[in-house]
Structure 1
Amino acid sequence: MSLEQARALLTAPGARFEMETVEIRGVPTRVWKNAPPSLAALQQLVRAYGERVFTIYEDERVTYEANYRAVCHLAGKLAEMGVGKGDRVALAMRNLPEWPTIFFAIASLGAIVVPLNAWWTGGELEYGLRDSGARLLFVDAERHERLKHCYEDLAGLDRVVVSRAGDAPGGKAVRLEALIGRTADWAALPDISFPQAEIAPDDDATIFYTSGTTGSPKGALGTHRNIVTNILSGGYSAARTLLRRGETPPAVPDHKTSLLVIPLFHVTACSAGLMSMMAAGATIVFMRRWDTVQAMEIIQRERVNMTGGVPTIAWQLLEHPERHNYDLSSLESIAYGGAPSAPELVKRIHEEFGALPGNGWGMTETMATVTSHSAEDYLARPTSAGLPVATADLKIMTLEGDRELPVGEVGELWARGPMIVKGYWNKPEATAETFVDGWVRTGDLARLDEEGFLYIVDRAKDMVIRGGENIYSSEVEDVLYAHPAVTDCALVGIPHKILGEEPAAVVHLAPGAEASEAELQDWVRARIAAFKVPVAIRFVEATLPRNANGKILKTELKGLF
């Protein structure tokens, strides 16, 4: 089925993915007509999954009903503490069963959830608390140890709730278990009424912080509509894939089990992952930290259907010498975003796992999904980030932002739709620079083809300009990834007195594989123009450093040269 036919069928009047136009901040915008109006509405809808297992963490299993009861009780406790609409409540912890419970308890009161990066240092976490003006903080024991010295200095912080603390925390801090018990107790909590709060779709819901690869992280202020949009966007993309294949999308989503290894404080995991999986009644497995062998054990034991996150995870599953000791046949999809992937990876996922690969494009400012790419379309176009969902628009603009470029030309990607956040928290100048009449200026260099498929070429700031010639890092990285010894790589610019800068590469080789600098340079030279060949290559033993969003920290790599 053609793209046009699939879109027309899926979005027809009365169809599940019907659209309507509403005005959002003065801009007429296509939205999903059947999206839940708020996070509170979503939480009430998914109670219908009852005794189905919602989350698994080690030996803990929480059902949808038990989670619903815990949300109701925790929201009641927060209301007693004076938390109400518009208050900021921060959440800093690793992926634990209580993470989504806390998230929905806050959001169901109309308060604003501030998921803080659990990888941050104490000073960075303190910055997030001060910048957001959070009046209450939820932490796990590790983040509590990192932050407890500064609680009294944060005048606006009224209360700290600590999960899984060994000892009574004291001072401003109380134990989460004192409020709602342990996860094993949630199913026995009394059935009380859901919190009643007046929440409109475009009310503030979340502040997710940007990855902050340059300068201080900015808080992207998102609405209930922004985040629930992903539920229908993900469903639309999956249904489009089935129609394109000649299959009929099911009336009710199949029950899937997903191994979620991306941190929930990132929009990919929370917005694109958690929201869609909850809406479909999926079972979500959490890991304390990524470990390839442990992941394969979980996939085998729980019959996991979906996993992914960043390309590194897929590579490590493929390359691990013990892979054939585990039954991974339940895997149907390995999807990732946040970082470019090699075309070779797309092919190997399909050939060696029998699973369909998937990726997409989005950013914190778009609350995750804008484009989606999977299955046969991805296999046919492995360097693309896919098609925009039906409610999104893309255009390619000059770097000055004064003119739209024709199909095929590279420029800055701009995106528009109901997933675009309101702006940056308390940063009006940065908001005005980035958000223009409903569009977000992404800072990504990209092109669109005749069918509308998106190709991310580079981050504008990562492009290497050698003597006036533009070198897009993804082009060189794709060639390096195609070498059988390379499993992780990045291109960076290094200063040059005459040319301004030159390309250099950092490479991580597969276990047991060998390749020299000269061999890889010859490999690149045989495939793309000579001026794009890295003048130097450094080899590292570990996979390349990434932030929590999966983006390679190229500023750290430049020090190797």
Structure 2
Amino acid sequence: MQITSVLRRAAQVNPQGAATIFKDRQQSWLNLLDRVARLAGALQHVGMKPGDRVALLSLNSDRFIEYFFATVWGGGAMMPMNIRWAPPECAYALNDAGAGILLVDDAFVEAVSAFQTEVSGLKTLIYCGDGDTPEGMLNYEDLIASAVPVPDAGRSGDDLAGIFYTGGTTGFPKGVMLSHTNFYVGGISNSETLDAKDGTVYLHAAPMFHIADLLWFMAITFAAGTHVVIPAFTPEATLEAIATHRPSHVLLVPVMLQMVLHSDAMKGADTSSLKLIAYGASPITEGLLKEAFEAFPGVRFLQAFGQTELSPVATILGPEYHVIDGPNAGRLRAAGRATRVCEIRIVDAEGAEVPRGEVGEIAVKGPITMLGYWNKPEITAKTLRDGWVHTGDAGYMDDEGFVFLMDRIKDMIISGGENVYSAEVENALSQHPAVATSAVIGIPHEKWGESVHAIVILHPGASATPQDLMDHCHTRIAGYKCPRSVEFRTEPFPLSGANKVLKTELRKPFWDDQDRQIS
């Protein structure tokens, strides 16, 4: 099972078909194959060895897709970076992974200077933008033009394909290691469940570094379809791309879907090419779904639930269950049923399966499960047990195998489709001199699903305003992780018998009127 074999097949069965469309650039599958082999040679020439991590910090583009395939073609491992990270987070991930090569586009050239000196192993910077090449960087197009296509390095199976950083329970991001098998099996499964038939046209509107969009890299390539790319999501840019390039498929996480529906650009927009809208990354409300059904008549909807550790899809709620009436009605609150390439159990604290209808932790097993966390064997052992990934999500399964999400076992918040670990925010808050301790929780938010809320106890005699603490966090962590609200307390936090903060108690006042404890 080899990622690059899927690209070779696409170039074989649809050589002159449009592979990528980005702004005024369009290329065929045959041309993409040639550029990938050349870029792989260029990366080897500048020092990439088998298994080396090659990072990319970039907005969406056709070059992102070339990087995805070329890195593994040349024997390396990809490492797409979160474009919303603060400089300390970028430096941490690059140092943790030991990345020696970084590709960067126009949007992040200046940002690199803020962390470059903190990354001792970073030896080569490649500029993949469209302007003048900054001093000290190599030019992406020049490298491809001067490179000789190299043979596929032949890495496959359980060989490392990439490291994908997600939030950390210890206050620092952790790198999920995914293999060639993970991507290959996931690609086959996703191509089928997402109904990506030959010639499917998919619009990359979601950020490409995010695993929710990365799953489409393989699915659409399996179908030898077309990747239409816009640099970044806005409702206006998305609707314009739909009207211009006529995609049949698009992924819109709930907050993106809501923004599209409520945009002035939606009035009179031509979305007639759309056949399927997929969503995921965070739960969705029935009200938003019903609004979308009315706005996109004739379009099928599909939900995918999973996480980076699962490459990333574990369950699918298909279009046949996105209905208001009929025998399949009543499933809109479900996360779906296990895909054809994994097994799901609902387990108790000891890992034993619980009866149908009883709430427990969702655990997943199959060829989509990660290799583990990079350089974190202890955390890997806690999450990956006997081949089962313990997701940290609480839910139940009904008698027909439908999984329903109810809560989170780990201290994670999902805001606008992005994972936020409480420990990361608490770690940033702890570095403010006025803060004695803090507890960060997710509270309901109409637009973002959940909002990051900090409850803070200050040192005796110290003072700080909510805005002081929010501004401080923005210098340490990505903006989406920063508290949207801060409250101060003087009384100690409620503690368990093991002296851990009982966040369930802190969350209760905010969630008492909700039918589930996540949003």
Aligned letter for 2:15?
G
Q: Secondary structure at the match of 1:54?
A: strand
Q: Deviations over 1:452-471 (max 9, x none)?
A: 111111222469xxxxxxxx
Distance 2:237 2:144 in 1: 30
SS of residue paired to 2:82: coil
Q: Which residue number corresponds to residue 178 of structure 2?
A: 222
Mark the CA change 1:505 to 1:43 in structure 2 (over 3 Å): closer, same or farther: closer
Structure 2 letter corresponding to 1:309: L
8 Å contact 1:334–1:358 — kept in the other structure? yes
Q: Within 5 Å, give how 1:468-487 maps onto structure 2.
A: none
Aligned pair 1:175/2:139, yes or no? yes
User: 1:422 deviation in Å?
Assistant: 0.8
Task: State whether structure 2 residue 385 is matched by structure 1 residue 385.
Answer: no
Verify: 1:394 aligned to 2:344, yes or no. yes
Q: CA deviation at 1:194?
A: 4.9
Q: Secondary structure at the match of 1:167?
A: coil
2:319 matches 1:375: yes
Question: For residue 408 of structure 2, what is the aligned residue in structure 1?
Answer: 459
For 1:12-411, list aligned pairs within 5 A. 37-48=1-12, 49-148=14-113, 150-164=115-129, 166-171=131-136, 173-180=137-144, 194-212=150-168, 215-238=171-194, 253-270=197-214, 272-354=215-297, 355-379=299-323, 380=329, 381-398=331-348, 400-411=349-360
CA distance in 2, matches of 1:348, 1:76: 49
Compute the displacement of 1:318 (Å): 2.2
Q: Is the 8 A contact 1:236 1:389 kept in 2?
A: no
Using the alignment, how far apart are the partners of 2:154 and 2:296 within structure 1?
47
The 3 A distance-change label for structure 1 pair 82 and 322 is closer
Q: 1:445 maps to which residue?
A: 394
**Match for residue 376 of structure 2 among 427, 435, 442:** 427
Give the SS at the match of 1:559. strand
Taking structure 2 as the reference length, what is the TM-score of the superposition? 0.76
Structure 1, unmatched stretches of 5+, are 1-36, 182-188, 240-251, 464-472, 478-491, 493-499, 510-550
User: Could you say what secondary structure the match of 1:151 adopts?
Assistant: helix
Q: How many residues align?
A: 431
Cα deviation 1:330-364 (Å, max 9, x = unaligned): 11111111110012233333333121111111101
| Cα distance change, pair 215–327 in 1 and its aligned pair in 2 (3 A) | same
Show CA shifts across 1:254-279 (max 9, x none).
42222211212111111x21110111
Give the letter aligned to residue 230 of structure 1: G
Shift of the 506–346 alpha-carbon distance from structure 1 to 2, 3 Å rule, reads closer
> What's the CA shift string for 1:414-438, capped at 9, x where partnerless?
1101010110000111111111011
**Cα distance in 1 for residues equivalent to 2:17 and 2:487:** 50
Q: Give yes or no for contact 2:84–2:480 (8 Å, CA) kept in 1.
A: no
Encode CA deviations 1:92-149: one digit per residue, 9 max, x unaligned: 1111111111121110122111111122122211111101001211111232211135
Secondary structure, counterpart of 1:407 in structure 2: coil
Which one of 419, 427, 445 corresponds to residue 506 of structure 1? 445
- 1:213-259 deviations in whole A, cap 9, x for unaligned? 872110001110011112221134256xxxxxxxxxxxx92422222
**CA contact under 8 A between 1:213 and 1:553: conserved in structure 2?**
no
Shift of 1:391: 2.0
Greater shift after overlay, 361-370 or 206-215? 206-215
C-alpha distance in 2, partners of 1:504/1:114?
31
* Identity value in percent: 32
Q: Take 1:46 and 1:393, find their aligned partners in 2: how far apart are those partners?
A: 30
What's the C-alpha RMSD, in Å, of the aligned pairs? 3.0
SS of residue matched to 1:325: coil
SS in 1 for 2:66: helix
Paired residue secondary structure (2:356): coil
Q: Residues 450 and 552 of structure 1: is their aligned pair in 2 closer, same or farther, counting only changes over 3 Å?
A: farther
1:175 counterpart letter in structure 2: N
* C-alpha separation in 2, matches of 1:555 and 1:443: 22
Question: Partner letter of residue 356 of structure 1?
Answer: R
| Aligned counterparts of 1:224 and 1:503: Cα–Cα separation in 2 | 35
Q: Does structure 1 conserve the Cα–Cα contact (< 8 Å) formed by 2:11 and 2:29? A: yes
Q: Return the offset for 1:503.
A: 9.8
Residues 62-106 of structure 1: CA distance to partner in whole angstroms, max 9, x if unpaired? 222221111111111122223221111111111111111112111
